[in-house]
Amino acid sequence: MAVFIIAEIGINHNGDVEIAKKLIDGAVFAGCDAVKFQKRTVEKVYTKEELDRPRESPWGNTNRDQKYGLEFGKKEYDEIDRYCREKGICWFASAWDLDSQKFLRQYNLKYNKIASPMLTYRELLEMVAAEKKDTFISTGMSTMEEIGKAVQIFKDAKCPFELMHCNSVYPMKDKDANLKVIPILREKFRCKVGYSGHEVGLITSCAAVALGATSIERHITLDRAMYGSDQAASVEVLGFYRLVRYIRTIEEALGNGRKIITPEEENVKKKLRKIETL
């Protein structure tokens, strides 16, 4: 099965649906399988104290201004849903609260996503698992014990899921990727394991594929210099195009694990192997 490649738009649209459309276009151009967003009910995800904090942004002078400036509502998601259908790419989103998960249900999405900060939010996990949709579960900031408890919720609900190895630093240093955890997670929980990367560059994500990652999620941006906390850990469109090509090449190169002599190699054998005494 081919690696499932997700272009994480997240909040890199900066509250502008036209930028979101350009990012969707970029993901289609790159050859991605899906785009992903983030959905929050701002007043429920953040405390009043947090929202009242001073913060300079294009939308005002408080954290509240910034959070609301970045948040899409029904009008924007209706357009995103329509546009993705027009472009032939599926979309889904990670909900950061119960109301947001309920909001997403109206779009009949094929996939769900548990963001790393939400992995220990039992009520949300149970709500998502009850939908029995294929769910990607990011594991950043989490212990094996916490991951195990989340996995059990999905197994008990008989909901299909895929873990995603992750380090939640933006951007992440390559030395902190710890990609050897991928086969460990796969063995321990007997499930598919992907990789959600926040590094600068493409090599680490390619290495994850070589280690057996079944999905790759990277943030996509129009320009890494744009406003936003996730932009520096994102991949620009042409870079994403290269990443998809690299992943598909790695898939071909990995082969099926059976030692054979290819027809092309047989021709070389006839020329070079003169002695057979085994």
Q: How far apart are the first and last CA of the chain?
A: 38
CATH of 4-272 among 3.20.20.70, 3.90.1170.40, 3.40.50.10140, 2.60.40.10? 3.20.20.70
CA–CA gap between residue 139 and residue 136 (Å, rounded): 10
Q: Tell me if residue 241 falls in helix, strand or coil.
A: helix
Q: Is the separation of the CB atoms in 173 and 193 below 8 Å?
A: no
The residue assigned the tokens 């998502």 is 128
- Yes or no: say if 218 and 205 are a contact pair by the CB < 8 Å rule: yes
pLDDT tens digits in sequence order for the chain, 278 residues long: 899 999 999 999 999 999 999 999 999 999 999 999 999 999 999 999 999 999 999 999 999 999 999 999 999 999 999 999 999 999 999 999 999 999 999 999 999 999 999 999 999 999 999 999 999 999 999 999 999 999 999 999 999 999 999 999 999 999 999 999 999 999 999 999 999 999 999 999 999 999 999 999 999 999 999 999 999 999 999 999 999 999 999 999 999 999 999 999 999 999 999 898 98
Where residue 171 falls (left for φ over 0; alpha for ψ -120 to 50; beta otherwise) is beta
Structure confidence at residue 30 (pLDDT) = 98
The whole-model pTM stands at 0.96
Which pLDDT does position 1 carry in this prediction?
A: 84
Q: Find out whether 188 and 144 touch, Cβ atoms under 8 Å.
A: yes
Peptide bond into 183 cis (omega under 30): no
State the Cα–Cα distance between residues 107 and 117, nearest whole angstrom: 24
What letter does residue 118 receive in the DSSP assignment? G
